[in-house]
Structure 1
Amino acid sequence: MEPKVLIIEPFCGGSHKQLVALLEETIPGVVSFGMKPQKWHWRMRTSALYFSAVIPRTEHLRTLFASSVLNLAELVGLRPDLANLRKVLYFHENQLVYPVRKHQDRDFQYGYNQIVSCLVADVIVFNSRFNMNSFLSNIQSYLKLMPDYRPKDLADQIRPKCRVLYYPVDFPSYASSAVDETKLLHIVWPHRWEHDKDPDTFFSVLFQLQELDCAFNVSVIGQSYEEIPKIFSDARRKLDAHILTWGYQESVEDYYRVLQDADVAVSTAQHEFFGVAMLESAHFGCYPLCPNQLVYPEIFPEECIYRTIPQLVKKLKYFCRNPSACRNDRKPRINLKPFSWKTLKDSYIKLLH
């Protein structure tokens, strides 16, 4: 069967890779091209040149599906034969509101690439309303970073092509079991080891719990890359007596096993447009605690949201001293159905046909 759908993923790891795999398994006539999930800055800058050379020329393709890591405008310029395909651009995140430590650290090119990619795309899909709204509402202010000759009304050109389609989480089935109520509270942090997930705040909270003589265990199991924030080595030393699991779990079964054993999953993120790890944690029975910002209020109920760091410390302190308060029937009721692959599967098939 000649492929009709071309999938391009410059950062083929984590949730990006999971989505590609689901689409490949489900939709007939798919051919995909990806790059290793390293050096995302360089993937955003240069991946179009790589893909322009490796994607074969064929008359059978009908649809192009790419994540917004790709500079779609650049690829189409390098490969004009792809211009006539129905071009679907998928936003796992957007660079217009990416948190930087200092204003001068912001690389204008990343957000600019995403804006021009939207101009050449036929359909633009965001994985949450927060992602879409934060992108569209920041286009004009972002372009003000340009010294002169600033374009106007680009949001009006882009908005009609936009829609929200939640990221499809392929929740595995599992049977919950009774919890040993004598067990210490188990806190899990399942996020990337990068500064935008704000590990400094997370570990400062745990250090405060230590100082308050709270009893707890912790697992830190997100994926790490070449540059690991220094706080991780400091935390490994200071929290040694509390650590159950440390580091990325190569096996998905091991990853799920940690989530099943944990009681509370914490996010302190400054940059989150969907949060697969927090939804997976909730699926496996964790009580999610998330900041009152980003995508979290869109997905989780009020009892899972904290507004200040002192509130987070207070809640975790209570759970440390009363672990049963976040276990079994005391956990919040979270409707995960809108985010499941079973629910969203037909929408994705329709999107690519």
Structure 2
Amino acid sequence: MSVLLIEPFYGGSHKQLMDLLQEELQEDCVLCTLPAKKWHWKARTSALYFMQTVPTSSNYRFMPEHKLARLEKVIGVKRNGDAYQSEGLPGQQESRAVMKTIDAHPESGLCEPQPGLCTTQHEGLPSPAAAPVQAEAPERTNPCQGEDKQHLTFNLSNILSGLDYQQRPLHIAWPHRWEHDKDPETFFKVLMKLKEQDLPFHVSVLGETFSEIPDIFSEAREVLGSSVLHWGYLPSKDDYFRALCTADVVISTAKHEFFGVAMIEAVHCGCYPLCPKALVYPEIFPAEYLYSTPEQLFKRLQNFCKRPDIVRRHLYKGETAGFSWAALGSKFRSLLAAEPREDL
């Protein structure tokens, strides 16, 4: 039995999960993706795109008989041996038109077994030679272009060397995509207010950047000046985790979050989390790590800047072990290897 993985936003934590599943499940995997950009359009239209492009195979069609019968009546699906071909699916032309506005190149979709991982071929699936070109990498820009090279490389150890650990200023990390749904405006306005009051702190602004970067980033980079330890995406996972391990506090100001992998990773690296009292965060973090307003976030950071030792002595009161692959791997395997049931 094969496992079909579909990911319309193949980047960041989405890509991390897909790659982990492919590597760890030890199954025959087929991964279909689209580039990690234009999230809102992908949410609206990717189902139509994949409906037309995912290769038909009896190796992973888990749909029960009663749902197949209903599907035949609704969209005219016809049986063809063990596979199913669709004819005249509604929205077909509309989907093609919309997807062309999303990705200028039709080959940007990936639908093939990934080389070096699970590469077993199946009847009816495209071979690597005939498969579409792999999904294009997310567009990244270098927000530090033209600046001193020390901001382009990971140099936290050099900056912090020679300073007594307890005497260092509070180190704040923001490890999120540089996009509006992560609300960088609120985050930077709080930091600028700390700067206005001459409170000592360092900040590392991490996370992926894309073709469009909110204006607040360039404004904040100038205002924060020497408070910046690192500014920009770290492609090396080791460097990324090293940055989190040197930080004291990790902040989320997100307006849109289904889980928050970056926050869990930072807590695992010893950071004190401060998250909105909204979205998924109250389900994961104890109440003392939540704030309701930007003013509350500012007051918490104000106190931490004055007494960073309080944060550094703190032991996290939540639990992160339950989110590890060691805890969840068997559950994923059981779920994806399950026999088809009538309640699916």
**TM-score (normalizing by structure 2):** 0.66
Q: Measured at CA, do residues 234 and 4 of structure 1 come closer, stay the same or move farther in structure 2, by a change above 3 Å?
A: same
Match of 2:239 among 250, 254, 274: 254
Match of 1:22 among 14, 20, 23: 20
- Work out the CA distance in 2 between the residues paired with 1:60 and 1:322: 59
User: Is 1:194 the equivalent of 2:179?
Assistant: yes
Measured after TM superposition, the shift of residue 207 of structure 1 is 0.8
Write the mapping of 1:131-210 to structure 2, written as runs, cut at 5 A: 180-210=165-195
Amino acid at match of 2:10: C
Measured after TM superposition, the shift of residue 246 of structure 1 is 0.7
Give the structure 1 partner of residue 272 of structure 2.
Answer: 287
Give the structure 2 partner of residue 93 of structure 1.
Answer: none
Measured after TM superposition, the shift of residue 52 of structure 1 is 4.3
Which of structures 1 and 2 has the bigger CA Rg? Answer: 2
- Work out the CA distance in 1 between the residues paired with 2:79 and 2:239: 44
User: Is 1:239 the equivalent of 2:237?
Assistant: no
Give the structure 1 partner of residue 329 of structure 2.
Answer: 345
Q: Any unmatched runs of 5+ in structure 2?
A: 64-70, 84-97, 99-162, 338-344
* Between 206-215 and 298-307, the greater mean CA deviation after superposition: 298-307
CA deviations 1:36-93 (Å, max 9, x no partner) are: 21222332344345434543333222459xxxxxxxx9xx9698779x99xxxxxxxx
SS in 2 for 1:239: helix
- Work out the CA distance in 1 between the residues paired with 2:292 and 2:282: 11
Measured after TM superposition, the shift of residue 14 of structure 1 is 1.2
CA deviations 1:118-142 (Å, max 9, x no partner) are: xxxxxxxxxxxxxxxxxxxxxxxxx
Q: Is the 8 A contact 1:4 1:63 kept in 2?
A: no
Give the structure 2 partner of residue 61 of structure 1.
Answer: 60
Amino acid at match of 1:262: A
Q: Measured at CA, do residues 249 and 290 of structure 1 come closer, stay the same or move farther in structure 2, by a change above 3 Å?
A: same
Q: Any unmatched runs of 5+ in structure 1?
A: 65-72, 86-108, 110-177
Q: Measured at CA, do residues 310 and 81 of structure 1 come closer, stay the same or move farther in structure 2, by a change above 3 Å?
A: farther
Q: Is the 8 A contact 1:4 1:62 kept in 2?
A: no
Query: Identity across aligned pairs (percent)?
Result: 50
RMSD (Å), alpha carbons: 2.7
User: Is 1:304 the equivalent of 2:302?
Assistant: no
Measured after TM superposition, the shift of residue 192 of structure 1 is 1.3
Measured after TM superposition, the shift of residue 203 of structure 1 is 0.6
Measured after TM superposition, the shift of residue 302 of structure 1 is 2.0
Query: What is the number of equivalent residue pairs in this alignment?
Result: 248
Q: Is the 8 A contact 1:217 1:244 kept in 2?
A: yes
CA deviations 1:282-333 (Å, max 9, x no partner) are: 0001000112111111111122112222221111111111111101x32332
Match of 2:319 among 298, 310, 335: 335
